[in-house]
Amino acid sequence: MIDHKEHVDVDAEANGHRSLGAAPERKALPAPAAPQPGRRSYGWIWLVLLGIAGGIAFHSYQGVQQEKAAQATVQERKSANRALTVAATPAHRGDLPIYLRGLGNVVAYNTVNIKPRVDGPIVNVNFKEGQFVQKDEVLVEIDPRTYKAAVDQAVGQLARDQAQLKDAQVNLARYQKLWDEQVIAKQQLDTQAASVGQFEGTIEADKANIETAQLNLNFSKIRAPIAGRIGLRQVDIGNIVHATDTTPLAVITQMQPISVLFTIPADQLQPVLAKLRAGAKLPVYAFDRADVHQIASGTLETVDNQIDPNTGTSRLKAIFNNDDNALFPQQFVNCRLLLETRHGVILIPSAAVQLGPQGSYVYVVNADGTASMRQVVQGQTEGNQVQVTSGLKAGEMVVTDGQDKLQEGSKVQVRNGNGSGNGGQAGQTQ
């Protein structure tokens, strides 16, 4: 404990120094508080109690974790012994069609613009818009009176010239007798013979004029050049039409048969050409825009003579009978060209094939109810079916659903029904 007097002297001395400017002022430090009696004796007791509580909590935590670990081990053992439910179907031998697919556009086999070939007012329209017309059916009638009068005039001209020819022929016969009797000169006989020939030529020209006039009269009735479906009428009754008009009266599209133009990649063209050179008739099937429902079936007719360099595709033309008129011009369809059919190959659903670091594999259900991984080699894929060239035998069950839970040797139980959704037969519960 510091003496009070000494403290005062120190302060005085410090003030004296401050007055002389010898040293800076220092503040006195407060005296430490004296410890209260009994506080130090309780501190270690609290430390001991906290240590005991921490130990109890730690041992309790360890017990809980050990219990959880034991439960997890038991659960794993149960899971290991429990069979996993999967869907499976047997590999089978069957036929696999090989299709070449392409987007197609329906095109009328023939398209005809109906135009007049003579001038005149339209007096009658004999068709309804959108109806099917037959070949040579009268569609439109143009006023025929002018052309009928031309026919009559040509016929009258022919009759006059025929009468003149007859008179010239009679005179020629007379001149011939007179020449035989040496009454007239040879020049007069020759002149009459030339007159006969002239009239004969005139008569031939008259006949041609009659044919021309009759043809124009026939053209006054506009007929359908082909059978097909006629479109909307472009010109109404009463309008005067001309042979030089650019707007057609209507358009006829041939619907039966009908053609479809579709494209395939250029690298698939050679097998098609080889089939055509061999004389094969390749079937073509037209499907709807969703490529689900078949609309019609036809036959490949030809292949275009060049490849489109912009798209790297080749155009093909197929012909469809279209008896039910299911195909319509300018309709978009999905085409499938049947190139070949592979018979007796091993097929499995595409859902059964998995990809791994070593390639394609499947899980096979063994006779003892376990699953094993099997490496396979895939062939052609068509729709939901995959050809397997090696690694499987017909009749072996392959898992189609639930492969993500399986390991080598896992116990499995095949559920009834087909979970693959691919049309294959489902395995029975084991």
- Residues 8-30, mean pLDDT to the nearest whole number: 44
170 and 198 co-located in one domain = yes
In a domain, 115, yes or no: yes
Q: Is the model more confident about 59 or about 223?
A: 223
Q: Take residue 412 and report the two structure tokens written for it.
A: 């499995």
287 and 183 co-located in one domain = no
Proportion of the chain above pLDDT 70, given as a percent: 85
214 and 199 co-located in one domain = yes
pLDDT for 260 beyond 70: yes
Per DSSP bridges, beta strands 120-125 and 240-241 are antiparallel
152: confidence class by pLDDT, cuts 50, 70, 90: very high
427: confidence class by pLDDT, cuts 50, 70, 90: very low
- The pLDDT value recorded for residue 418 is 46
264 and 389 co-located in one domain = no
Question: pLDDT tens, 359-379?
Answer: 999 999 998 889 999 999 998
**Mean of the per-residue pLDDT values of the chain:** 85
Which CATH number does the domain housing residue 118 bear? Answer: 2.40.50.100
- The pLDDT value recorded for residue 135 is 95
310 and 355 co-located in one domain = no
What's the domain count of the chain? 4
386 and 285 co-located in one domain = no
In a domain, 46, yes or no: no
- Residues 397-424, mean pLDDT to the nearest whole number: 74
Q: Is the model more confident about 283 or about 402?
A: 283
137 and 230 co-located in one domain = yes
Cβ 400 vs Cβ 419: under 8 Å: yes
Q: Take residue 407 and report the two structure tokens written for it.
A: 């390991």
Buried b (16+ CB within 10 A) or exposed e, 110-140: bebebbbebbbebeebebeeeeebeeeeebb
Last residue of a domain, one of 322, 342, 362: 342
Cβ 426 vs Cβ 416: under 8 Å: yes
245 and 263 co-located in one domain = no
Which CATH number does the domain housing residue 396 bear? Answer: 2.40.420.20
Which CATH number does the domain housing residue 271 bear? Answer: 2.40.30.170
227 and 133 co-located in one domain = yes
In a domain, 240, yes or no: yes
139 and 227 co-located in one domain = yes
- The pLDDT value recorded for residue 406 is 86
274 and 381 co-located in one domain = no
- The least confident of 7-16, 153-162, 236-245, 334-343 is 7-16
Q: Take residue 125 and report the two structure tokens written for it.
A: 């329209």
In a domain, 18, yes or no: no
pLDDT for 9 beyond 50: no
Q: Take residue 73 and report the two structure tokens written for it.
A: 């081990």
pLDDT for 10 beyond 50: no
298 and 335 co-located in one domain = yes
Backbone angles phi, psi at 3, to 5 degrees: -70, 140
pLDDT for 242 beyond 60: yes
Q: State which H helix or E strand residue 103 sits in.
A: strand 92-108
Cβ 320 vs Cβ 361: under 8 Å: no
- The least confident of 55-64, 212-221, 247-256 is 55-64
Last residue of a domain, one of 253, 274, 300: 253
In a domain, 268, yes or no: yes
Instruction: Please give the radius of gyration of the chain, using alpha carbons only, rounded to the nearest integer.
Output: 54
In a domain, 194, yes or no: yes
In a domain, 19, yes or no: no
Which residues span the domain enclosing 281? Answer: 254-342
- The least confident of 71-75, 127-131, 154-158 is 71-75
Q: State which H helix or E strand residue 108 sits in.
A: strand 92-108
- Residues 293-321, mean pLDDT to the nearest whole number: 95
pLDDT for 37 beyond 60: no
